[in-house]
Amino acid sequence: MTAPAIRHATPADIRDITAIYAHAVRHGTASWELEPPDAAEMQRRFEAVTAGGYPYLVAERDGRLLGYAYASAYRPRPAYRTTVENSIYIAPDAQGAGSGSALLAALMEACANRGFRQMIAVIGDGTGGSIGSRRLHERARFRLIGVAEKVGFKHGRWLDQMLMQKELGEGDRTPPA
């Protein structure tokens, strides 16, 4: 199977992005939203991410959108300005076929090229239902930095939240610009 093409997302992708995310909200624990947002809300979120100078990418093969990934501010305070949080969602029938790895690699590169120094993965239920996300980040050499236990409740059970971190570019070896 050929590797997926990775490109910047466009407003034309919002319909497919909305469908992928809706499935994750309804059936998974990667997102802790309880009701999927509509396309208008997903468009607003896309615009906020890209207006903030963060990358928003999609993976596609044969004209079909397989997944998406974006970076956003880890925290709003200015001292966090060089740290981003990543988000990656893959269509259910495309999971485990390399799209997540390709998106994460491209996202890390895009963030490093923009001067970001640290990437944080906030993995919902990383000790349980989102084991695929945990393994994806481990393969990309993220390191575990903590687990907040039983901090979310979804699908009738308590969920842990796992934090993983990866240095980008110059990391902490030089001060930010």
pLDDT digits (tens, 9 = 90+) for 36-50: 999 999 999 999 999
Residue whose tokens read 């050499």 = 141
What's the confidence (pLDDT) of residue 1? 67
Low-confidence ranges of the chain (pLDDT < 50): none
* Residue 161, amino acid: Q
Taking the domain 5-167, which CATH number applies?
Answer: 3.40.630.30
Residues 6 or more apart in contact with residue 4 via CB below 8 angstroms: 59, 60, 61, 66, 67, 98, 99, 102
Tell me the pTM. Answer: 0.95
pLDDT at 130: 72
pLDDT of residue 66: 98
Res 132: pLDDT:
87
What percentage of the chain exceeds 70 in pLDDT?
A: 97
> Which pLDDT score, from 0 to 100, does residue 129 have?
65
**Domain locations in the chain?**
5-167
pLDDT for residue 14: 98
3-state secondary structure of 40: helix
